[in-house]
Amino acid sequence: MSREADRRRMEELRELLRYHNYRYHVLDDPEISDAAFDRLMNELIALEDRYPEWVTPDSPTQRVGHTPAEGFETVTHTVPLFSLSNVFSEDDVRAFAERAQRWAGTSVDFVWELKIDGLAVSLTYEEGLFIQGATRGDGVEGEDITQNLRTVRSIPLRLGQAVDINVRGEVFMNKAAFVQLNRQREESGEGLFANPRNAAAGSLRQLDPRIAAQRPLDIFLYSIGYVRDQELQYHSEVLDYLAALGFKVNPHACRCQDIDEVLAYVRHWSENRGELPYDIDGVVIKINSLALQEKLGYTSRSPRWATAYKFPAEQKLTTVLDIQVQVGRTGALTPLAQLEPVRVAGSTVSRATLHNEDYIREKDIRIGDTVVLQKAGDVIPEIVASRPELRSGREQRFSMPKQCPACGGDAVRPEGEAVTRCVNNSCPAQRLEKLIHFASRSAMDIEGLGPARMQQLVEAGLVAGAADLYRLTEEQLLKLERMGPKSARNLLQAIEASKKQPLSRLLFALGIRLVGIEAARDLASHFGSLQAVAKASLDELLAIRSVGPKIAASILDFFSEEANQRLISELAAVGVTMEESRGRNDAEEPLQGITVVVTGRLEGCSRDEVEMLLREAGANVTGSVSSQTDFVVAGERAGSKLERANQLGVRTLSQGELWQLLRERGVVDD
């Protein structure tokens, strides 16, 4: 193929990828599978590698994140980003409307929008090309986070028109993505984000854009700072215009004739916000006429033509009965508040993580305190504050132990870190947690070897390390309580079967600090063998999409330790697969070509585990329902994705029906 033909193909691929990216991330209605999209992307990457002089700033390949920044430059906003005034009652909303009408001298209509709980940003385009993105900052100056915003796939790098425009929006992380990210961070020994907003803000303020690229961020656009050669009269027209340019606009915005309509929507979303897949913390009410907006103008801090009604958080008072310390598999010591049970946001809560010593000190939480409890993202229990005015004087301050509560070894807080760690590699709590992790469903998936059984094996002296699992005999197992011949044989068969797990699962099972499921999958795919990963240099590791400097350093540290080298040698000696299988055939992928969405709460397993099982069987697992979806697996509280499936006539399966299908296709045994 000639150079000119290659250049034309590159342009064609960019347009195709932009179109399919828009269908997937903005319209939530993809036309091709993830695998087909990846093939187009890989073709473009190969051509751009061949012709780097033809790489354009709006190319879809520029979303992956590049060299870490030294720090963020300051950006002066051409048009200030004012924050909104807040109101907290229906009377306040009516007062705002009456005041606006009095200032306007006429009746007005309104647009209400959901107030997304995220991070406000400003995006600037010249001739339709994205050139700069910044945080709100103080409203006058913000931080230049252009490279991180390029990684947000619902932000178009090129607009549908060659227009000069500045737009404003809210970057957020949906609830499911937040829960999954925290689960991966917990499994990798990292600290947890307190809520989706902190996760989104923390992701956008990473100096390494490659980390931001790994985070499932999204955006809704809601206003225009300036636009050249475009006359708009109403805010409702602004939203339509943004959508026409290719921006993602929240579908729940609505024009209202009077404040009574606005209040009806305020009440509706105050009661039903939990149904949304993302967090909102209120409703924004704006005067629709842009001319009136300009006439009313601004105070020193906020517009007079808009306000935000803030929802009250569901909070309950409870008592801290005790603060205990858990030891994780990476040695991290995590304080955990034992609470007087209380029902919050639909479930009974009896404990909440306190994260680290700084968190406890900042909120002044003591044993015996009355505290305010809520659920971050309506999911994770968190203590918002203590109530010192209710103290009796018998409350006790908490201090992190100097010795590990499990082994008595030194507990050290490294300089610059928030987490205290047990530094004893032989700590029995760490060893047990590492073994439990090794056998877990997301790792080696050894059926019948849960935490209680693993603890039994360790306490009986049968297992000290992962390789010992593969040396167990039926005679040894039969000496354990509640272990009959059939159970022993089943467990040994499950252990034997785990030897054939793919390399990605083994890498995750080894418990390398900071290496989650995604990074393990990328490492296995790139290097092909555990030996190659172990010998990889820092630069080779950093070339992996999901591996940043901290993860790379952790991998190098892991494979440099003699104990870990010995473990890998022992696992290889007992027959555990050390290489990634290549070139699967159709018989090994019985669900090849099938697109599946998994939603809702599943019984006895997590969505991640089911999705991994489906992917390993060849299925294309996606996060949104479209006309291209073959079926939706719907657990309890399936919500909007199930509704979407019913609207489109997409087949839905219960968890039981899914297992039946998997048995019929030979994915799982009877």
Tokens of 133: 């993105």
DSSP E strands in 237-376: the ranges are: 254-256, 280-287, 306-310, 316-327, 332-344, 347-353, 370-376
Catalytic residue among 115, 175, 286, 641: 115
Beta bridge partners of 165: 125, 227
Q: Please, is 254 exposed, middle or buried when counting C-beta atoms within 10 Å of its C-beta (0-12, 13-18, 19+)?
A: middle
Helix (H, G, I), strand (E, B) or coil at 135: strand
Per DSSP bridges, beta strands 651-653 and 74-76 are: unpaired
b/e map of 616-653 (b: 16 or more CB within 10 Å)? bbbbbbbbbbbebbebbbbbeebbebbebbeeeebebb
CA distances from 402 to 354, 364, 409, 415, 427 (A): 18, 20, 8, 15, 15
Q: Is 375 a catalytic residue?
A: no
DSSP for 588-612, written as a single string: G-TTTT-EEEEESB-SSS-HHHHHH
Dmax over Cα atoms in the chain, in whole Å?
A: 90
b/e map of 528-558 (b: 16 or more CB within 10 Å)? eebebbbebeeeebbebebbbeebbebbeeb
Using alpha carbons only, give the angle 356, 378, 654 rounded to the nearest 5 degrees: 120
Instruction: Output the CA torsion 542→213→593→522 (10° steps).
Output: 20
The CA distance from 323 to 352, in Å, is 10
Tokens of 604: 């006895």
DSSP for 159-207, written as a single string: -SS---EEEEEEEE--HHHHHHHHHHHHHTTPPPPSSHHHHHHHHHT-S
Nearest alpha carbon to residue 628 among 590, 604, 594: 594
Helix (H, G, I), strand (E, B) or coil at 530: helix
Q: Where are the alpha helices (DSSP H) in 440-477?
A: 451-459, 474-477
Tokens of 458: 């360790």
Query: Tokens 């907290």, residue?
Result: 88
The CA distance from 299 to 304, in Å, is 7
The CA distance from 155 to 136, in Å, is 17
Beta bridge partners of 327: 333
Which distant-in-sequence residues (6+ apart) come within 8 Å of 314 by Cβ? 344, 345, 374, 375
Residue numbers annotated as active site: 115
